[in-house]
Amino acid sequence: MVAFCRKYPELPEVRERERVNGLVLWGREPVLLSTKKVFKAAIGGPGILPMILAATSALERMSMPRLLDRAYRLLLGLHIQRGYREGSPWRLLHFAEDGDTSGFFPQLGQRYDRTRYEMTFGH
């Protein structure tokens, strides 16, 4: 899915997927959206996800269509977010002092793997 999103970034569906499943952008997106992203990441982890899967299985046996629909949507959203984040590049921020003459940061800025990392430099 991430490869598709990178290939067609102009599609409205791709922009929406990035908005909902991308990295948390505190202060640059609504607080509720940031909170939802954090919540989804927390419950989509290895500790809680098996319990959600078990509850969904129980709902399937009880034939509760409204709750089952919500459970399916939750599970789908959790898995999409996990896959989206695993395929997304890491964002790194490097700070350098004004008098840095080591040459390390200019080299780092030229030689990093742009498919795996998005870097920003500041001082």
Q: Per residue in 66-92, pLDDT tens?
A: 899 999 988 888 888 877 666 655 555
Q: Provide mean pLDDT across the span 97-111.
A: 65
SS3 of residue 93 by DSSP? strand
* pLDDT (0 to 100) of residue 31: 93
CB contact at 8 A, 87 and 2 = yes
pTM (2 decimals)? Answer: 0.58
DSSP type of residue 117: E
